[in-house]
Structure formats: C-alpha cells, structure tokens
C-alpha cells in the first residue's frame, strides 16, 4: 500500500509539473502571438500610406495619428517604445510615406531618425515668377501639391516669395513651400537693410519697384532702369510701363490696346495712375531688389528694349522717339 501511495503521489507531482509546463508554454505562445500581432501593422492598412507629423506634436498626439491612420494597432506599445527606447531624442516632424506595412519597430525607427521614405526633388522658381506661375509649377512637379491651398496662403504676398532653386520632399504641402519662400526672402532682404535705410524708401515700395524692374529690364540694365523709374516718380511723371498691364490683364506687351492704355479703372495702369501700382507684379530676384533699394542719380528719363534685345536710353522724349524708330521699326 505504501508503495502504491508513493506511486500515486509521484504521479500527481508529475501531472502538476507537466500541467504547469504546458500552461507556461501555452502562455508564452499566447504572449508571443499577441506581441507579434500588436507590433505588426493592421492587415486593413491601405498601401501606400502617408502621415504628417507637425512641429510641436507630442508623443501621444503622434501615436494617435498613426492609430487613426491604421498604421499601428497599439498606442501604448508605440508610446513606450518611443519614450523608453529613444530617451530625450525628439521625433522628427515631416511627412512620412509607407509603401509596405511597417512594424512598430520600423515606425519608431523612422520617425526618430527622420527617415521619411520619400524622395526629394529639386525645383527652380524663375526670377520674376508670379504667385500664379509658382502654384502652377509646383502642381506640375509635385503630385500631392494643393495649388488652391497655396493661392489662399499667398494672398497679398506677391513679391515676397523669393525665387531660387529649392529642394522639397515629393509630398511637400502648400504651407511648407510658402514658409520656405518667405523665410528665404527675409534672409535675403536682411542683406539690403543698409541700402533701404539710406534710400529712405519703405520695403513695400522697394519690392514693388523691384518687381517692375525684373519684368522691364535685362540683367545688365536693372540698376539704370530702377534709377529712371524712381526719377519719374520724383518729378511726378507716370511710370508708363507695360509690365503692369501684362500682370493685371493677362496679355502680352504687344497685345495691349489703346483702350487698355486709356482705362482709368485699372489701378495697374501706370499711364493714367501716377505712382507705384497697388502691389508687386512679380517675385523679384535679389539683384532687382538691390537695384531698387540703391539710391543713385541718372540723367536718363526714357528706356526701351530693342528688337535685338539691347536696352536703349534717352534723356528726352525726342531722343526716346529716335530710339523707337531705330530699334523698334
């Protein structure tokens, strides 16, 4: 009996051990399975997917965005991995593109390293481009770009978007372009502050004049044309430039009619309205801004661009008429 009792006792001990072992294995499998499931992207995620992290977003806000976009399953796990795994390292703001279903580990790695998964593209904004032309350029070059949003954000900012060659992500947003172009303008204009102070002209006046010079003058003639136009204003002579018509009516110089020239309702008509037009008519280059900000005298009062592309100047209207006969007929 004692032997039987001993066998029964040992059998129970083995059964208990086996059961605990089985339970432990099952538990481990369940935990592992849950971990794999929780750290993988939802199967419902539509690829490609993009998400934007804005400057100043908290970790909780960021993980909520990923959760709402269906990129992660668990905010808690993702929060913990960002905070514990990266310490004081900040998440890099920007737009991230996911072309395959990422694990949480991949998401955390990319947003803390600024690995956007997006190619960058170089785009050149021509000197003298208008807001309308810039919007059309970006719509053509960037498939996600919202031209209408760009126009809303740039209302009243003609002349203050600096033309240059820029590098943007393919998913660039309208506000990012506006911020970059405005920031670059601010940096460039800082170099001209001494000239602005010396000229006693406001920044607005200089920007408007520079935008006209950009359209009216060749690269070599910017300073002389600026000097002539400022001189006209000083003697209360109308600017009488065609570029403002091109901007306001959307037609080329050679398409402007006599009726256009007599139209007093058009505030950009610098033949009938003295002074500068209401706004800039283009986004000028640094050289045109510098020419407009530089104060110097000139003897000339008239200029034109000949059929040969050269600029010709005259001190009097009679001299100007002779230049027209020689170089435009």
Residues 92 and 173 reside in one and the same domain: no
Q: Which domain holds residue 76?
A: 49-113
Quick one: average pLDDT of 219-239?
94
Contacts of 203 (CB under 8 A, 6+ apart): 189, 196
Write down the pLDDT at residue 15. Answer: 54
Cβ-based neighbour number of residue 291 at 10 Å: 27
Could you tell me if residue 278 is inside a domain?
A: yes
Indicate whether 315 belongs to any domain: no
pLDDT of residue 313: 86
Tell me, yes or no, whether 107 and 136 share the same domain. no
Q: Which tops the pLDDT comparison, 11 or 135? A: 135
Instruction: Give the separation between CA 146 and CA 267, rounded to whole angstroms.
Output: 30
Rounded CA gap, 173 and 44, in Å?
Answer: 26
> pLDDT for 19-48, tens place per residue?
655 555 555 565 556 556 677 778 777 778
Domain at 145, CATH number: 3.30.1490
Residue 316 counted as domain residue: no
Could you tell me if 217 and 265 lie in one domain?
A: yes
CATH at residue 98: 3.30.1490.480
| pLDDT the model gives residue 229 | 96
pLDDT at 88: 47
> For residue 82, is it within any domain?
yes
One domain for residues 79 and 131: no
Task: Give pLDDT tens digits for 75-133.
Answer: 888 888 888 765 446 788 888 888 888 888 888 888 888 888 877 899 999 999 999 99
CA distance 221 to 214: 10
pLDDT of residue 7: 55
More confident: 292 or 25: 292
pLDDT value at residue 137: 97
Give the chain's mean pLDDT. Answer: 85
Does 126 map to a domain? yes
Q: 92, 113, 134 — which closes off a domain?
A: 113
Does the N-terminal peptide bond of residue 41 adopt cis geometry, omega within 30 degrees of 0?
A: no
Please report whether residue 306 resides in a domain: no
Q: Are residues 234 and 282 in the same domain?
A: yes
Do 287 and 234 lie in one domain? The reply is: yes
Contact 174, 131 (CB under 8 A): no
What pLDDT sits at residue 312? 87
Same domain, 124 and 108: no
The reply to whether 104 falls in a domain is yes
pLDDT value of position 329: 78
Residues 109 and 126 in one domain: no
Q: Confirm whether 181 is domain-assigned.
A: yes
Predicted confidence (pLDDT) per residue in 293-317, tens digit: 998 889 988 888 888 888 888 888 8
Within this chain, do residues 150 and 233 fall inside the same structural domain, yes or no? no
Please tell me the predicted confidence (pLDDT) of residue 252.
59
Helices (H), the chain: 2-39, 59-68, 75-86, 104-113, 131-141, 147-153, 174-190, 193-199, 203-216, 222-234, 243-249, 258-262, 286-293, 317-327
Which of 33-37, 55-59, 231-235 shows the lowest mean pLDDT across its residues? 33-37
Instruction: Name the more confident of 47 and 180.
Output: 180
> Average of pLDDT values for 199-222?
95
- Here the tokens at position 209 are 């004049």
Number of domains, the chain: 3
Residue 49 is predicted with a pLDDT of 82
Indicate the range of 71-85, 196-210, 213-227 predicted with least confidence. 71-85
Q: Is the pLDDT of residue 205 over 90?
A: yes
Examine the domain organization and report whether 87 and 106 are in the same domain: yes
242 and 292 both lie in a single domain: yes
Indicate if 82 and 131 belong to the same structural domain. no
Helix axes 75-86, 104-113, angle to 10 degrees: 50
């Amino acid at each position: 009996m004692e032997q039987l009792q001993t066998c029964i006792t040992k059998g129970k001990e083995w059964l208990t051990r086996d059961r605990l072992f089985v339970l432990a294995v099952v538990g481990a499998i369940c935990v592992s399975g849950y971990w794999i499931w929780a750290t993988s992207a939802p199967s419902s995620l539509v690829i490609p997917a993009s998400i934007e992290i804005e400057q100043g977003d908290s970790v909780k806000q960021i993980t909520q965005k990923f959760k709402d976009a269906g990129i992660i399953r668990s905010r808690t796990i993702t929060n913990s991995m960002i905070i514990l795994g990266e310490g004081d390292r900040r998440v890099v703001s920007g737009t991230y593109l996911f072309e395959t279903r990422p694990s949480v580990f991949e998401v955390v790695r990319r947003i803390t390293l600024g690995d956007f998964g997006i190619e960058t593209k170089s785009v050149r904004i021509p000197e003298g481009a208008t807001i309308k032309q810039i919007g059309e350029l970006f719509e053509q070059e960037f498939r996600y770009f919202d031209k209408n949003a760009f126009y809303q954000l740039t209302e009243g900012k003609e002349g203050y978007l600096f033309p240059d060659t820029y590098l943007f992500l393919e998913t660039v947003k309208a506000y990012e372009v506006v911020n970059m172009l405005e920031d670059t303008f601010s940096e460039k204009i800082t170099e001209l502050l001494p000239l602005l102070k010396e000229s006693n002209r406001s920044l607005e006046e200089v920007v408007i004049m520079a935008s006209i010079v950009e359209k009216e003058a060749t690269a070599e003639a910017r300073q002389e044309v600026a000097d002539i136009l400022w001189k006209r204003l000083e003697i209360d002579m109308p600017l009488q430039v065609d570029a403002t018509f091109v901007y306001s009516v959307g037609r080329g110089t050679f398409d402007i009619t006599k009726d256009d020239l007599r139209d007093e309702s058009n505030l950009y008509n610098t033949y009938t309205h003295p002074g500068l037009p209401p706004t800039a008519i283009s986004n000028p280059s640094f050289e045109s801004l510098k020419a407009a900000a530089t104060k110097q005298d000139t003897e000339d009062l008239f200029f034109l661009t000949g059929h040969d592309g050269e600029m010709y100047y005259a001190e009097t209207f009679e001299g100007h008429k002779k230049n027209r006969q020689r170089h435009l007929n």
